[in-house]
Amino acid sequence: MSATPFDQQNLPTSDGHTLFVAQYGQPDAPAAVVLHGGPGSGTQPSVLEWFDLTRQRVVLFDQRGAGKSQPHGEIINNDSTKLVADIEMIRERLGIERWMVVGGSWGATLALLYAAQHAHRIRAMVLRGSFLASERELNWFFQSLRAMVPQAWEEMTLGWQEEQKQQVLATLGKQLLYGSEQEAEDAATRWGAYEEAVMQAMSGKLALPTTTSKASARTIGKYRLQAHYLLNACFTREADLLGAANALANTPTVIVHGSHDLVCPPENAVRLAKLIPHARLHWVPRGGHTPADPLIAAALREAVLELHPSS
């Protein structure tokens, strides 16, 4: 979808970061903000396809160190508490009283953390492919998922010692955060190829190792941010995230989750739904994790339309 923002800004924080923010749609319409995944992935204009820009105002922004925000890949002054404060700062700067919050994967984590502090500012919530920042999920993705994508996992850990293979995230994180430029590039390349193979498996394709070009500086920055957050348990706890769901007791909520999501286990959606009993749990049969999946995208469009004010 091609859309032109009616407003675009680089908002400075008080501690050395600058956030890229863009607004689309109608300035006087009910607002929504989209929280991107990663951490570190950056926002994608394709998410605008979930909205009716003739009747909605959509705020997209890149979180600290991600996308067009600067400094790219910076981990100093970068944690979950500061990201939540950034969301609220953006809302205040843009003069928005209340808004719909749409978050997917890591963005869903961040949406819950935001709700814990600012639920009164949330008009409605959409959570897609929710990530609960647990050791259980990290062990699944980096270790147990080997059973589903064996060749890609072997390619990712090629040449490693057995001890390194038993601690994939720690090994990749050490290279990205403390290694040489060459080591960081190698780790980002391995991580990216493995992630792509998992995405292929979810779409029904054979997840074979792929010939991947060396990681760009932007890709290295993305995975450096992910390593920073994941190795620090995303600066939160699963119990806190589940507790944050209680803040949505009076908030219209839709939980979207693909039945074939290999990245964030479907059980996450069940756990959230039990804590937000009024929420509509929208299972997407054969749906994967990425919003680029047409089935997931259709469910998101439906959820946004359902929660948009009728007047």
Q: Could you say which of 36, 72, 257, 289 is catalytic?
A: 289
**Is position 310 annotated as part of the catalytic site?**
no
Q: Which of 62, 186, 261, 293 is catalytic?
A: 261
261 given a catalytic annotation: yes
- Annotated catalytic residue: which of 105, 134, 186, 228? 105
260 flagged as catalytic: no
159 vs 161: CA distance, rounded Å: 7
User: Which positions are catalytic?
Assistant: 105, 261, 289
